[in-house]
């Protein structure tokens, strides 16, 4: 199961409409927001990343949504699988090793994958 948080942005005058459309969509849970800033925080769930991306795309198409961007994602199965092969002592040692930024690998971006 994947769970991701999304920040939805709209104009303040469209906030109430977007809020209700998000609730009525059945795609997400609406948690809180700031009407003056036009920001709404939601979460989506899916059996995999593809399902979450499909839901995110549909949310982005809701009328008056300026943007909807995924900010945090959690995959229970992926974490459990990674824990099996994780050596905690080696991980701590790796994190405490001084390195140049260019030497650090980053694999968390979904950009260009969907």
Place of tokens 């609730």: 23
pLDDT tens digits for range 27-78:
999 999 999 999 999 999 998 888 999 999 999 999 999 999 998 777 777 6
**pTM (whole model) above 0.85:** no
The larger pLDDT score, comparing residue 98 to residue 61, is at: 61
Q: Tell me the sheet residues that pair with 57.
A: none
Strands (E), 14-103: 29-34, 39-46, 67-75
Residue 38 three-state SS: coil
Cα of 15 vs its chain's centroid, Å:
20
Place of tokens 């229970």: 76
Residue 21 three-state SS: helix
């Amino acid at each position: 199961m994947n769970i991701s948080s999304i920040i939805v942005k709209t104009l303040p005058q469209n906030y109430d409409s977007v809020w209700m459309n998000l609730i009525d969509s059945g795609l997400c849970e609406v948690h809180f927001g700031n009407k003056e800033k036009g920001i709404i925080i939601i979460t989506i769930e899916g059996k995999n990343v593809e399902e979450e991306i499909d839901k995110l795309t549909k949310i982005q198409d809701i009328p008056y949504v300026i943007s909807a961007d995924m900010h945090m994602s959690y995959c229970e199965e992926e974490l459990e699988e990674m824990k099996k092969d994780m050596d905690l002592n080696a991980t701590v040692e790796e994190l405490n090793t001084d390195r140049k930024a260019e030497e650090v690998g980053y694999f968390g971006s979904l950009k260009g994958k969907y």
